Structure 1
Amino acid sequence: MDDSELERLLAAGPPEPFVRTMARLAEEDPGFVAISCEDDSITRRELERRSNRLARVYAERGVEFGDYVAIALPNGIEFYVAFFAALKVGAVPLPLSYRLPVVERQGILDLAKAALLVGVREDEHPGHPSLPAGFEPGAQVSDEPLPEVVSPAWKAPTSGGSTGRPKIIRAGSGAVGSSALNRLLYRYTPDDVQAVVAPLYHNSALGMSIGGLLLGQRLAVAKKFDAEEVLRLIGDHGITWLMLVPTMMHRMYRLIEAGGRYDLSSIRIMLHLGAKCPEWLKEKWIELLGPEKVLEIYGGTESVAITLITGEEWLEHRESVGRPWYGDMKVLDVEGNELPSGEIGEIYMKGAGGLGSTYEYVGAQARSINGWETLGDLGWKDEDGYLYISDRRVDMIVSGGANIYPAEVENALDQYPKVLSSVVVGLPDDDLGQRAHAIVQAEPGTTARELLGFLADRLVRHKVPRSVEFTDQPLRDDSGKVRRSRLRDAAIERVKTRA
């Protein structure tokens, strides 16, 4: 889609402040159940009134226009109430994992200079204004509408990237917008029932569910991702639209493959993103749902540019993440020259509004060349302009002069029926420079010999890991993200200890 077409479509739906949209929806159908989470639910009117009351508490605690309100709450209705309460005082919601260690959380609070922390006891961060999880304003606090205000940034999620060092990715737009973009890109409709199964500190789960609410959808929220529970939720709630990451798709498919009977017939659109999806796994989901129901996008939290590919297109361009739908992308070499089709380089993006129009980093600097920005991903384009992702630049392993892309090895490992998850890292090697090392979560009794034998038929020899270790702990979080640098450093220490 070219920029002129996008401008025309956005102009067709006049932008409206998020808080006005929610108030309007509550007035149009106050009894409509906006969100359900397990046995709890909330109507539009209740969401409007509860967030009004909480917003007044935020203001009493000193939150002012443009301040950050850090929300460290698990998935649930309380999160959405806190989110809209922040917007109603003109603050910027900063979602955090409620599982973060105190030291890591404090680092983010210091970086943001957050005015309020929601979901954590005040004694965990002495001197920092906080409200605990489960807090309810006193009955004397009014639930009447507040003066309308538009937050200067409607979200500010955090990301550690591959380095593990936190940064904040502040949205480049205020809490005002049109539903046109979401309806076109995500194939939304107001009548959809959206499943929210990824953690809400994950940018995509947050953005897509807020977009759904503002469009008038009903949300069915899972407190945490559990493959079997999500499969049942789809049938029980008649889910028509959901977003998954490949880790979720993998776990869910294993249950279906094992003979589980689940009703997926209500699904109209299944969108996936967040990591490179193995070809075999995507093919299985296309077989399950039909190619017309499977969408994939690539673009990152920064949303500088976005690609889109339908299931039908993917069958013609396997492993591609599509062509630019918004903005533009090209593949450059280390000197900044554009590479011809088929050659791997670093992916650079340019948005319709130019540098700094879609996001702002707090705690990091963007990498750019002549107005083109990169998120650090490597890839290539085919002759038709379809983009393919190889791996993260910082994750690539150079072993004996040969490039090894961890994602490729992990995709092969994950095809083994006993493997639940895998992460491949590069360890120092006196001879090769680096050697590939696999960390695998698998069913009890799985051996390194059987895994390496499985890989020998699927990967060229130099890509097969030189060592394998097993763990009984999940390697990726509920959003499919992995702290690769932390796993690599821990593996290096274990090797040193054994030496």
Structure 2
Amino acid sequence: MAGSWLQRQAQLHPERPAFYWQNKSWSFAALQAEVQQYAAYYEAHLIHSQRVAVFSDNKPEMVFTILALWELGIELQCLNTRLTNKELGFQLQDADCQLVITDSLLELDGVQLLPFGKKNTIAFQGEDRLVYRPTQIASIMYTSGTTGKPKGVPQTFGNHQASAKATQQNLSIAEDDCWLCAVPLYHISGLSIVLRMVQLGISMRLYGRFDPQTMAMDLSHNKGTVVSLVSKMLKDILPYVPQTGFPGLRYILLGGGPIDRSLLEQCQHKQLAVIQSYGMTETCSQVVALPPAMATAKLGASGIPLKGVQLRIVAAKGKSTSARDEAHSVGEIYLKGSAIVSSYLNDRGSEQWDQQGWFATGDLGYLDEEGYLYVVSRASELIISGGENIYPAEVEQALQQHPAIAEAAVVGQDNAQWGQEVTAFVVLKEAVSKESLLESLEDTIAHYKFPRRFYQVAELPRTASGKIIKWRLLSEERVNEIE
């Protein structure tokens, strides 16, 4: 099949290891054979389907299904399994997707469910399909906007290929590398590892969930050379890391938000090469990362742009800054490059791209004298808890449906375990319990978005124009906690 990344790897390197799951393994030839059977099954059931959603946690059937859909030229919509039915329903309707492949018992109006593909002997009839074209949509993921309204991000194969190639160059990825994946496949952090496998010809080891002891044991037995983690996962695995580190582990690629300096120093003491990075759904994984040789000298930095990525800092007044201009001048991070998507679905958020193709991330940062990026805050109000992105506006809108709440403001409070925790400040019309507030959020937003603490305030601090001053909520003494 012309253009299939998987088939190319199977032809060039049939016996090379491709995919590991628990005590099972597949070479590229074996993986291709498995995927072909899944593709034959889906070809018989997905007639005239251009876009199909997948709802699943990490397991081999999900990998086989993703690759089978791409062999068929079908766009993949990734669904976060932690979302409520209401949230899922909106995303499916917004993406005009009526079919979900899953083994879960979902109940969604107007949506057809199809179980994961079964092995069969039907011949796969896909020889002449056009697949993996640079402009073709490979995957769609949803990210919340600052208004709280989720936006679909259509990621093309061209975007993914640029991301994989840039990562290969930055980390000197070679054919004998094995990338450990315990992050969700429905997130860009996980899906990008599948794409690196078939694009770069490396192997990946998949985990159903992150268990620090299991991963540490695998690493001690040289079962992986690179691993993607968020700060919470890194903290959890650190106690199981020997003082001399893992000899076969080359790099830990760290994403999912800020990390404190002390944790990075602990990693250095245990000889772990942690590569901080910066990226998002719209950039198809990392677009800025620290070169390995600079991990110590630039501790705390996100790094420099990867190959094919341009970066600039735009101050509030609209003036761009660079390392040659005013170093350490904080402004909004703008990006441009072939790994970055060019639009959202349904023309939402079109103002984030200017006429020259620069993407306004909404995140704040600065460049030092040598051009290294330091991220000050993620989307200014974005809360990152345990690697999950949570936009306050979405939680605020859900809270304000409660009859006892007159106003609500949600912020992220530092948390040693999760990085940040959701904290709500509310103006009440009448007395209310924490239990009542949490119950009102059920079936509206996912549990990981629930506030951990509620504080009653007489009024919310505002600017002269009426905008809530959220930093003041975190800087003032917190009293009147709602129990």
- TM-score interval for Structure 1 and Structure 2 normalised by the shorter chain: 0.7 to 0.9
Match of 1:56 among 40, 48, 63: 40
For residues 94-493 of structure 1, the aligned pairs below 5 Å read: 94-120=77-103, 124-133=107-116, 135-137=117-119, 139-143=120-124, 146-151=127-132, 152-160=136-144, 165-174=149-158, 177=161, 180-253=165-238, 255-256=239-240, 264-289=246-271, 293-303=273-283, 306-325=287-306, 326-338=308-320, 340-351=326-337, 358-362=341-345, 364-366=348-350, 367-368=352-353, 371=356, 372-395=358-381, 410=414, 413-414=415-416, 419=417, 422-423=420-421, 425=423, 427=425, 486-488=449-451, 491=454
> Contact 1:172–1:359 (CA<8 Å) still a contact in 2?
no
1:346 alignment partner AA: E
Shift of 1:252: 1.4
1:203 alignment partner AA: I
Change (3 A) 1:343 1:297: same
CA distance in 2, matches of 1:17, 1:319: 44
3-state SS in 2 of match to 1:41: strand
CA distance in 2, matches of 1:315, 1:143: 51
Shift of 1:70: 0.9
3-state SS in 1 of match to 2:205: strand
CA distance in 1, matches of 2:21, 2:155: 27
3-state SS in 1 of match to 2:343: strand
Unaligned runs of 5+ in 2: 384-410, 429-433, 439-444, 459-479
1:319-343 Cα offsets, whole Å, 9 max, x none, are 1111223322222233322353223
2:320 alignment partner AA: E
2:67 alignment partner AA: F
Deviates more, 1:109-118 or 1:143-152: 143-152
Deviates more, 1:260-269 or 1:234-243: 260-269
> Contact 1:63–1:91 (CA<8 Å) still a contact in 2?
no
Q: How many residues are matched?
A: 409
Change (3 A) 1:486 1:269: closer
1:274 alignment partner AA: G
CA distance in 1, matches of 2:316, 2:379: 11
CA distance in 2, matches of 1:121, 1:225: 20
3-state SS in 2 of match to 1:199: coil
TM-score by length of 1: 0.71
Shift of 1:349: 2.0
3-state SS in 2 of match to 1:282: helix
Aligned counterpart, 1:13 = none
3-state SS in 1 of match to 2:215: helix
Shift of 1:370: 5.7
> Contact 2:179–2:203 (CA<8 Å) still a contact in 1?
yes
1:32-60 Cα offsets, whole Å, 9 max, x none, are 44212123433433322232232233333
Change (3 A) 1:34 1:144: farther
Shift of 1:109: 1.1
3-state SS in 2 of match to 1:155: strand
CA distance in 2, matches of 1:222, 1:296: 22
CA distance in 1, matches of 2:140, 2:17: 27
CA distance in 2, matches of 1:68, 1:483: 25
3-state SS in 1 of match to 2:43: helix
1:90-143 Cα offsets, whole Å, 9 max, x none, are 11112222343322222111111125311145762354232125x415x34225
2:123 alignment partner AA: S
Aligned counterpart, 2:467 = none
Change (3 A) 1:492 1:61: farther
Change (3 A) 1:396 1:41: closer
> Contact 1:309–1:323 (CA<8 Å) still a contact in 2?
yes
CA distance in 2, matches of 1:180, 1:421: 30
> Contact 1:95–1:157 (CA<8 Å) still a contact in 2?
yes
Superposition CA RMSD, Å: 3.8
> Contact 1:194–1:209 (CA<8 Å) still a contact in 2?
no
> Contact 2:37–2:121 (CA<8 Å) still a contact in 1?
no
Aligned counterpart, 1:87 = 70
Change (3 A) 1:188 1:18: farther
> Contact 1:73–1:98 (CA<8 Å) still a contact in 2?
yes
Which runs of 4 or more aligned residues in structure 1 lie more than 6 Å from their structure 2 counterparts after TM superposition? 260-263, 482-485, 493-497
1:50-79 Cα offsets, whole Å, 9 max, x none, are 3223223333334447x2221112212111
Change (3 A) 1:242 1:498: closer
CA distance in 2, matches of 1:94, 1:46: 26
CA distance in 1, matches of 2:83, 2:244: 34
3-state SS in 2 of match to 1:205: helix
2:290 alignment partner AA: I
> Contact 2:182–2:208 (CA<8 Å) still a contact in 1?
yes
